[in-house]
């Protein structure tokens, strides 16, 4: 299936990925401004970002029930809540209020994230085609565009809030495209399988590694370029933008790769590539070299998370798919709970260079996890593991 065909089939959840991506790209590029506005140290700012992670994890547990209640309007409600939630973080100056505001952001973002990933997995099963990478690529495209837009708005001296309002208006205009009918699958007659704990745990751990690595670069790349390497505001915004652009390229390429290769070898190769990029970014003498590192990291890490989510959707019974993806996302998105705090603490103690080297080590832990998932595969599932 071509990339354009995949996006046509999954255009409604793909639109939701765009909404989420543009907001987080905007936030990533405004991190230096927001951090200075709060007067927070690296360690304190990393701790404050636990607010968004707390909201994300809470939403993951609530999402399956909310999905049942909201039905076809699930993605629409999530997008409205997200647009409202992002009105607050850019204008607060008190650290505690910022943490609470980010918790609401995380709650809305997590709700929309689970529902849109579940919709993609449902479409994959319906059409028997890989779609996850193409949809996550749309997140990356929107993320990069959001970060690039902020590069211009920061140079023009615009504060964060008006820009968030502008992106909120775009989200509201996209609402008609977010309505999607849902087909709820009942358990097959005679189904006696147990709850698929280990597939969820192992695939969740793979997604955790990917999203922890992604979150650290999103939140700290602009600071690394501006503070460690002496770049300006526009150069700093180009750090997360470079990550978003290369992640989009990696995920669009991953869409084609997923149709030809099994997920496990792809995850292993992508982990090595992304770890190499993290090392280059950590040791970079200039912003340009750092961009190269962020680009290589983005190419590699781009496919790890989508592959993990696609895997769990294939390894569980159809009637458990939404719940399994939600639980996997709980584990994966807890990376947004650990990553900012750990990165802040490491930066405070050792500097951002050492902190980014820690990201390289983290990425390599996906290798044994992928091999464990391969061993967990049941004989009857061998055809499900590839595409």
Domain range for residue 85? 7-181+196-385
CB contact at 8 A, 267 and 303: yes
Mean pLDDT of 200-228: 87
pLDDT, one tens digit per residue, over 279-333 is: 999 999 999 999 999 999 988 998 898 888 878 877 777 777 777 877 887 788 7
Phi and psi angles of residue 153, each rounded to the nearest 5 degrees, phi first: -70, -35
pLDDT computed for residue 189 by the predictor = 55
Classified as helix, coil or strand, 97 is helix
Q: Is 41 contained in some domain?
A: yes
pLDDT computed for residue 126 by the predictor = 83
pLDDT computed for residue 368 by the predictor = 92
Q: Is 319 contained in some domain?
A: yes
Mean pLDDT of 183-191: 60
DSSP per residue, 224-281:
IIIIIS---HHHHHHHHHHHHHHHHHHHHHHHHHHTTS-HHHHHHHHHHHHHHHHHHH
pLDDT above 70 (res 22): yes
More confident residue, 100 or 254: 100
Pick from 43-47, 49-53, 145-149 the range whose average pLDDT is largest: 145-149
More confident residue, 28 or 99: 99
Tokens in use for 178? 């977010």
How remote is the C-alpha of 167 from its chain's centroid? Answer: 18
pLDDT above 50 (res 79): yes
Q: Rounded CA gap, 329 and 31, in Å?
A: 25
Q: Is 144 contained in some domain?
A: yes
pLDDT computed for residue 376 by the predictor = 63
Kindly report the pTM of this predicted structure: 0.75
pLDDT above 80 (res 57): no
Q: What residues have CB less than 8 Å from 108, skipping those under 6 apart?
A: 55, 59, 78, 81, 82, 84, 85
pLDDT, one tens digit per residue, over 237-260 is: 888 888 778 888 888 887 777 667
Report CA torsion sign: 82, 88, 89, 91: positive
Q: Which of 231-235, 283-287, 380-384 has the lowest mean pLDDT?
A: 380-384
pLDDT above 50 (res 151): yes
Mean pLDDT of 257-270: 81
CATH of the domain at 85: 1.20.1250.20
Q: Is 190 contained in some domain?
A: no
pLDDT above 80 (res 84): yes
pLDDT above 90 (res 264): no
Q: Is 187 contained in some domain?
A: no
pLDDT computed for residue 190 by the predictor = 54
pLDDT computed for residue 188 by the predictor = 59
Sorting pLDDT into bands at 50, 70 and 90, what band is 51? confident
Mean pLDDT of 65-82: 91
Report CA torsion sign: 143, 145, 148, 154: negative
pLDDT computed for residue 387 by the predictor = 35
Sorting pLDDT into bands at 50, 70 and 90, what band is 193? low
pLDDT above 50 (res 385): no
| Residues, the chain | 387
pLDDT computed for residue 1 by the predictor = 53
pLDDT above 50 (res 352): yes
Q: Is 314 contained in some domain?
A: yes
Sorting pLDDT into bands at 50, 70 and 90, what band is 195? low
Pick from 124-128, 199-203, 341-345 the range whose average pLDDT is largest: 199-203
How many folded domains does the chain comprise?
Answer: 1
pLDDT above 90 (res 11): yes
Tokens in use for 326? 């939600």
**HEC string for 284-323:** CCCHHHHHHHHHHHHHHHCCHHHHHHHHHHHHCCHHHHHH
Pick from 56-65, 93-102, 300-309, 326-335 the range whose average pLDDT is largest: 93-102
Q: Rounded CA gap, 253 and 7, in Å?
A: 13
Mean pLDDT of 21-31: 90
Q: Is 155 contained in some domain?
A: yes
Q: Is 349 contained in some domain?
A: yes
More confident residue, 188 or 268: 268
């Amino acid at each position: 299936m071509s990339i354009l065909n995949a996006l046509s089939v999954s255009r409604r959840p793909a639109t939701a990925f765009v909404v989420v991506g543009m907001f987080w790209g905007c936030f990533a590029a405004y991190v230096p401004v927001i951090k200075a506005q709060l007067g927070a140290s690296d360690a304190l700012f990393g701790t404050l970002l636990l607010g968004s992670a707390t909201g994300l994890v809470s939403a993951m547990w609530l999402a399956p029930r909310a999905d049942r209640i909201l039905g076809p309007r699930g993605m629409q409600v999530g997008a409205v809540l997200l647009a409202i939630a992002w009105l607050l973080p850019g204008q607060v100056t008190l650290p505690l209020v910022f943490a609470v505001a980010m918790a609401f952001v995380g709650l809305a973002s997590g709700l929309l994230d689970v529902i849109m990933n579940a919709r993609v997995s449902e479409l994959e099963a319906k059409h028997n085609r890989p779609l996850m990478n193409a949809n996550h690529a749309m997140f990356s495209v929107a993320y990069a565009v959001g970060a690039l837009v902020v590069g211009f708005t920061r140079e023009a001296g615009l504060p964060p809030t008006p820009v968030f309002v502008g992106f909120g208006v775009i989200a509201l205009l996209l609402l008609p495209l977010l309505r999607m009918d849902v087909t709820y699958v009942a358990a097959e007659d005679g189904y006696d399988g147990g709850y698929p704990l280990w597939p969820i745990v192992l695939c969740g751990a793979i997604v955790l590694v990917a999203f922890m690595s992604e979150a650290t670069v999103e939140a700290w790349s602009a600071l690394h370029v501006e503070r460690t390497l002496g770049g300006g505001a526009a150069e700093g915004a180009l750090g997360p933008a470079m990550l978003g652009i290369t992640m989009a390229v990696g995920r669009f390429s991953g869409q084609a790769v997923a149709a030809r290769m099994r997920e496990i070898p792809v995850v292993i190769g992508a982990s090595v590539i992304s770890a190499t990029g993290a090392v280059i970014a950590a040791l970079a003498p200039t912003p340009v070299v750092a961009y190269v590192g962020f680009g290589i990291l983005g190419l590699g890490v781009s496919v790890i998370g989508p592959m993990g989510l696609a895997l769990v959707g294939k390894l569980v019974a159809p009637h458990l798919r939404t719940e399994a993806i939600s639980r996997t996302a709980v584990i994966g998105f807890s990376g947004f709970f650990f990553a900012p705090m750990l990165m802040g603490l490491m930066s405070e103690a050792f500097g951002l260079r050492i902190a980014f080297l820690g990201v390289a080590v983290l990425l390599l832990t996906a290798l044994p996890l992928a091999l464990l998932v391969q061993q967990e595969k049941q004989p009857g599932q061998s055809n499900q593991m590839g595409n």
